[in-house]
Amino acid sequence: MNRVVVVGASAAGLAAVETLRREGFEGDVTLLGDEPHAPYDRPPLSKQILSRTWREDRLPLRSDEDLTALDVDLRLGTEAVGVDPSARTVRIASGEEIPYDGLIVATGVRPRALPTARGHVLRTLDDALNLRSRLEPGRHLLVVGAGFLGAEVAAAAREIGCRVTLVEPAPVPLAHAVGEAVGRMLSTLHLEHGVDLRTGTGVAEVTDDGVRLVDGEVIEADEVLVCVGSVPNTDWLAGSGLRLDDGLVCDEYCSAAPGVYAAGDVARWHNPLFGTSMRVEHRTHAAEQGMAAARNLLRGAQGRPFAPVPYFWSDQYDVKLQAYGYPRGHDEVALVEGDLDERRFVVAYRTGERLSGVIAAGIPPRTLRSWRQAIARGAAWDEGPPTPSASTRKVA
């Protein structure tokens, strides 16, 4: 193998390139990124960047010197528009065909849009800077969607003195992901900080002056941010013969086809630890999968299955939520330590007969690590908590 092309210059793509060099690959490496910016960290966009506690010069993942040391052909502002796995070439917008022996797809996701296509979205640095320039004390921001991204932006906007309305079609925000009890706790948190939380209703249209709800109510706002999920960036792979199904479908080695691997938000792979196919949109996961994809590309038949315990965090006001595992589609939720009202707790999730996930706030890192280890070893639900002091109570 002499030539590797990595498409996507964010956390997953950068981790893949660094791993190739760390593993001793001395061939040509091309890293394509459709944004004009060198690889940067995305989680602070909805938190520190919007709240103005960080300048954007803190975002780059590596210095210019570090990138130069990788000896990589870094092409920023370059969009990949097609791939031919038979010919082993990637086509870019200029029409140039870039040959490869190995390809790593790390193109991430893009915001899902509402039919009217009005309103801000938040995915890139430019999105964040544009929104930040319009947020001042006293201005009214309406956020469509109370998922983690929408909730984080609502918190950041309140911290700088904006009026905030948060609209969510579900009766309890995030209940599908974390359960109703944690969702209600987060709802109370936002209400306590002055957010006008509207649940059980959706947005029919984003207008020039705000939004029109499905029940006909019109809410005026200075700015509208649409946070209604994301779409994997796989359009450029259409017609390639690669399998696309809510992401680029891969096996447990992150392989989509001979010589083609995927990593990060765009990759749907079989996680043998949980025995299911999943696509994970978390920052730490992207870097871990980028490393795994690069190693398996180089090792071929000697590669190792990628079987992580996914991890994410969310900062909202003075509460830091941390979660391990894959609780999606869980069958049972239990409060195993602390108190939700005090925002110091551990909540565990059961899927089938096993412990599938845990979410916590205000808990020492050592305690959380013990829960992560239990998930990693496939602990049965009836084993009880890994910490002797914990007591279990069922929650809704």
Convert the pLDDT of each residue in 151-209 to its tens digit.
999 999 999 999 999 999 999 999 888 899 999 999 999 999 999 999 999 999 999 99
Instruction: Retrieve residue 378's tokens.
Output: 């496939």
**Range 125-226 has CATH code 3.20.20.110:** no
In this structure, how many other beta carbons lie within 10 angstroms of the beta carbon of residue 101? 14
Please provide residue 341's backbone torsions phi and psi, each rounded to the nearest 5 degrees: -65, -30
* Type of residue numbered 386: P
Given a cut of 80, whether residue 134 has pLDDT beyond it is yes
Beta-carbon contacts of 255 under 8 Å, excluding residues fewer than 6 positions away, are 261, 296, 303
Query: What pLDDT score does 389 carry?
Result: 47
Spatial distance between the Cα atoms of 99 and 88, rounded to a whole number of angstroms? 6
For domain 3-110+231-302, give the CATH number.
Answer: 3.50.50.60
Given a cut of 80, whether residue 385 has pLDDT beyond it is no
Element (H, E) at 294: helix 283-299
Under the banding of pLDDT at 50, 70 and 90, the label for residue 142 is: very high
Write the pLDDT tens digit of every residue in 314-342: 999 999 999 999 988 899 999 999 999 99
Domain at 318-394, CATH class:
alpha beta
Q: Worst-scoring range by mean pLDDT, 239-248, 289-298, 366-375?
A: 366-375
Query: What pLDDT score does 118 carry?
Result: 85
Given a cut of 60, whether residue 391 has pLDDT beyond it is no
Spatial distance between the Cα atoms of 152 and 149, rounded to a whole number of angstroms? 5
Given a cut of 80, whether residue 67 has pLDDT beyond it is yes
Cβ distance 156 to 143 under 8 Å?
Answer: no
Cβ distance 289 to 297 under 8 Å?
Answer: no
Query: What pLDDT score does 394 carry?
Result: 57
Given a cut of 80, whether residue 392 has pLDDT beyond it is no
Given a cut of 50, whether residue 289 has pLDDT beyond it is yes
In this structure, how many other beta carbons lie within 10 angstroms of the beta carbon of residue 239? 9
Given a cut of 70, whether residue 129 has pLDDT beyond it is yes
Mean pLDDT (whole number) for 382-389 = 67
- Domain 125-226 matches domain 318-394 at the CATH topology level: no
Domain boundaries, the chain: 3-110+231-302, 125-226, 318-394
Mean pLDDT (whole number) for 62-70 = 97
Q: What is the mean pLDDT of the chain?
A: 94
Mean pLDDT (whole number) for 363-379 = 91
Given a cut of 80, whether residue 116 has pLDDT beyond it is no
